[in-house]
Structure 1
Amino acid sequence: MVAMATVVASPSCSSPSFSFTHSISSSRRSTFACCHRLPRSRKQCLRSGASSRGNGDEPEGVFHKRYPERGNDERAYLLPDGGGGKVVFESAGVQKKDKGLVYNLKEHQMVQNWRWNKKRIDDEGVAALIQALGQEKMPEVAPKLLIDLKSKGFVPGRATLSSLVLCYAKNGLFRQAKAMWSEIINSSFVPSIEVVSGLMDAYAMMGHFDEISTIVHETASRQDFDFSNEVYSLAVSCFGKSGQLELMEAMVKEMVLRGFKVDSMTGNAFVKYYSLFGSIEEMEAAYGRMKKSRILIEKEAIRAMASAYISERRFYKLGEFLRGVGLGRRNVGNLLWNLLLLSYAANFKMKSLQREFISMVGAGFSPDLTTFNIRALAYSRMCMFWDLHLSIEHMKHEGVIPDLVTYGCLVDAYLERRLGRNLSFALDKMNAESAPVMLTDPLVFEALGKGDFHSSSEALLESTRQRGWTYSNLVSIYLRKQYRSNQIFWNY
Structure 2
Amino acid sequence: MASLLTTGLIHSPHLSLRTHRFTLLSCSTDSPTPPIGRKLIKHSKLSIDSSPKIKVVDYAPLIESLNRRRLPDEAHQVFIQMKSDNLLPNYRTLSTLMLCFAQNGSVPRARAIWEEILNSSFVPDLVVISKLISAYEQISCFSEVSKIARDISARHPKLLPVVSSLAICCFGKNGQLELMEDAINELDSKEISLDSATANAIIRYYSVFGSLEKMEQAYGRLKKPGIVIEEEEIRAVLLAYLKQRKFYRLREFCSDVGLGRRNLGNMLWNSVLLSYAADFKMKSLQREFIGMRGAGFSPDLTTFNIRALAFSRMALFWDLHLTLEHMRRLNIVPDLVTFGCVVDAYMDRRLARNLEFVYNRMNLDDSPVVLTDPLAFEVLGKGDFHLSSEAVLEFGQRRNWTYRKLIGVYLKKKLRKDQIFWNY
Q: Shorter chain as normaliser: what TM range?
A: 0.7 to 0.9
* Aligned residue in 2 for 1:491: 423
Does residue 242 of structure 2 align to residue 310 of structure 1?
Answer: yes
* Aligned residue in 2 for 1:140: 71
Question: Does the CA contact (< 8 Å) of 1:298 and 1:332 recur in 2?
Answer: no
* Aligned residue in 1 for 2:189: 257
* Aligned residue in 2 for 1:405: 337
Q: Deviations over 1:209-250 (max 9, x none)?
A: 211112223344564x86532221222222222222222222
| Equivalent residue letter for 2:314 | M
| Equivalent residue letter for 2:70 | P
- Counterpart selection for 2:279 from 343, 347, 358: 347
* Aligned residue in 2 for 1:288: 220
Where do 1:147-296 residues align within 5 Å? 169=102, 172-175=105-108, 177-178=110-111, 188=122, 191-193=125-127, 196-221=129-154, 223=156, 227-296=159-228
* Aligned residue in 1 for 2:379: 447
Q: Deviations over 1:146-175 (max 9, x none)?
A: 98xxxxxxx999889877766664554545
| Equivalent residue letter for 1:209 | F
Cα pair distance change 1:474/1:247, threshold 3 Å: same
- Listed as ranges, the gaps of 5+ residues in structure 2 are 1-18, 32-37, 42-57, 79-87
Cα pair distance change 1:201/1:373, threshold 3 Å: farther
Question: Does the CA contact (< 8 Å) of 2:276 and 2:284 recur in 1?
Answer: yes
Question: Does the CA contact (< 8 Å) of 2:242 and 2:379 recur in 1?
Answer: yes
Distance in 2 between the 1:331 and 1:213 partners? 37
Distance in 2 between the 1:285 and 1:447 partners? 25
Question: Does the CA contact (< 8 Å) of 2:72 and 2:104 recur in 1?
Answer: no
Q: Deviations over 1:293-339 (max 9, x none)?
A: 43333223322322222222221222122222221122322211111
Where 2:213 maps in the other structure, the secondary structure is helix
Question: Does the CA contact (< 8 Å) of 2:146 and 2:179 recur in 1?
Answer: no
- In the TM superposition, residue 349 of structure 1 has moved relative to its aligned partner by 1.1
Cα pair distance change 1:452/1:141, threshold 3 Å: same
Question: Does the CA contact (< 8 Å) of 1:127 and 1:163 recur in 2?
Answer: yes
Structure 1 or 2: more helix by fraction: 2
Distance in 1 between the 2:400 and 2:20 partners? 67
Cα pair distance change 1:341/1:214, threshold 3 Å: same
Distance in 1 between the 2:126 and 2:159 partners? 9
Question: Does the CA contact (< 8 Å) of 1:271 and 1:287 recur in 2?
Answer: yes
TM-score normalised per structure 2: 0.74
Q: Deviations over 1:248-283 (max 9, x none)?
A: 222111012223212222322333323333333333
Where 2:263 maps in the other structure, the secondary structure is coil
Does residue 231 of structure 2 align to residue 299 of structure 1?
Answer: yes
Distance in 2 between the 1:129 and 1:477 partners? 61
Question: Does the CA contact (< 8 Å) of 2:126 and 2:163 recur in 1?
Answer: no
Distance in 2 between the 1:380 and 1:207 partners? 48
Distance in 2 between the 1:163 and 1:438 partners? 49
Cα pair distance change 1:274/1:26, threshold 3 Å: closer
Question: Does the CA contact (< 8 Å) of 2:63 and 2:100 recur in 1?
Answer: no
Q: Deviations over 1:399-429 (max 9, x none)?
A: 3333221221121112112222332432343
- Counterpart selection for 1:372 from 267, 283, 304: 304
* Aligned residue in 1 for 2:407: 475
| Equivalent residue letter for 2:361 | K
Cα pair distance change 1:306/1:127, threshold 3 Å: farther
- Counterpart selection for 2:295 from 354, 359, 363: 363
Cα pair distance change 1:335/1:199, threshold 3 Å: farther
Question: Does the CA contact (< 8 Å) of 2:59 and 2:89 recur in 1?
Answer: yes
Distance in 1 between the 2:24 and 2:290 partners? 85
Cα pair distance change 1:296/1:419, threshold 3 Å: same
Distance in 2 between the 1:411 and 1:129 partners? 64
Which has the larger displacement, 159-168 or 309-318? 159-168
| Equivalent residue letter for 2:289 | F
- Listed as ranges, the gaps of 5+ residues in structure 1 are 1-23, 32-60, 62-79, 83-97, 102-121, 148-154
- In the TM superposition, residue 452 of structure 1 has moved relative to its aligned partner by 0.8
Cα pair distance change 1:189/1:284, threshold 3 Å: closer
Which has the larger displacement, 297-306 or 378-387? 297-306
Question: Does the CA contact (< 8 Å) of 1:241 and 1:273 recur in 2?
Answer: yes
TM-score normalised per structure 1: 0.64
Superposed CA RMSD in Å reads 4.1
Distance in 2 between the 1:141 and 1:275 partners? 39
- Relative contact order (C-alpha < 8 Å, sep 6+): which is higher? 1
| Equivalent residue letter for 2:275 | S
Where 1:331 maps in the other structure, the secondary structure is helix
* Aligned residue in 1 for 2:52: none
Where 2:262 maps in the other structure, the secondary structure is coil
- In the TM superposition, residue 189 of structure 1 has moved relative to its aligned partner by 6.8
